[in-house]
Amino acid sequence: MINKKGALVLRDVMFMMIIVSGIFVLSGLFVSEMASNYENTNMSNEWAITGTNTIANSTFYDTGSDVAATGDGLSAETGIWSLISGTLNGIGDALFLVLTAPNTIGDLVGGTLQDAGVTVKISDIINYLIVTIFWAIIIFTVISGFLRGGKL
Amino acid sequence: MVYTPPSNVTDATRMVSWINSTTDLWLFQGIISAVFVVSLITMLKNQSNTASKSFAASSFIAMLVSVLARTIDLIPTWFMTLWIVMVGLSAVWMYVEGTQ
């Protein structure tokens, strides 16, 4: 949930990304099951190549594998060095996903618009607009945090 | 504009399928959109429902119907994808609003 001041921070964008990609992945499962049960290969083939499906899948499973890598690092039994390096690697990967969360949401929206027939030129503009707006909000929130509530 | 005359229409299912193909798949796209609007308004009438909850529930219903309709080739894939995206957006809206 967004904080009491209503400021959007990177954590919220990350949660949004996970929620949206999780819903798309579960919807993909539903679509694939229906297509399989009723032998409609045309439906499953068309859905499989959509940007909504492919980007959501990669986002969801990348996040899962990074968290799993962190868990493996923590449970390493080959010495303290592998424990530390494995954990740091996993956390680094997760941090990278957090930092690219606004870009991932922009890609998801852009890919979905292209699926709906919008031209690449328009979808690219909307993609970059979303990314820049997210980053602007986040950066100004961070600056406001440093200024203890003051705004630029 | 000349429409394809109905052929092999022997029951209600084939008749609906013919109407749908004649209207370039817009019959069921209209029906699903109407289901969304009617369910949204019905849910909004209940004072205990917030706008985000009503939007999420009605878009979920429309998504279920759209996947069923796509399975029997009554709507194009992009229209089904649209409702899946709407469900995702409604979840984000609920998160932003902090709906319990």
* B63 → chain A, closest CA residue: A27
List, for residues B29-85, the tens digit of each pLDDT value. 999 999 999 999 999 999 888 999 999 999 999 999 999 999 988 898 888 988 988
Q: pTM to 2 decimals?
A: 0.75
Residue A4 — pLDDT band, cuts 50, 70, 90?
low
Contact B81 A115 (CB under 8 A): yes
Of A19, A23, A30, the CB nearest to B67: A30
CA angle, residues B41, B46, B52, in degrees to nearest 5 = 65
Angle at which helices B77-97 and A51-74 cross, to 10°: 50
List, for residues A83-118, the tens digit of each pLDDT value. 777 777 777 877 777 788 888 888 888 887 787 778
- Backbone φ, ψ for residue A133 (5° rounding): -65, -45
Q: Is B67 on the interface with A (CB under 8 A)?
A: yes
Q: Is the ipTM of this complex over 0.85?
A: no
Instruction: Answer whether residue A128 shows pLDDT above 50.
Output: yes
Half-sphere exposure (Cβ direction) of B10: Cα atoms closer than 13 Å: 1
- Dist CA A24 CA A19 (whole Å): 9
Of B77, B85, B95, the CB nearest to A46: B77
B58 vs A146 pLDDT, higher one: B58
Instruction: Answer whether residue A76 shows pLDDT above 70.
Output: no
In 3D space, the residue among B55, B86, B79, B70 whose CA is nearest the CA of residue A24 turns out to be B86
Neighbours of A72 (CB within 10 A): 14
Mean pLDDT over each residue of chain A, to the nearest integer: 78
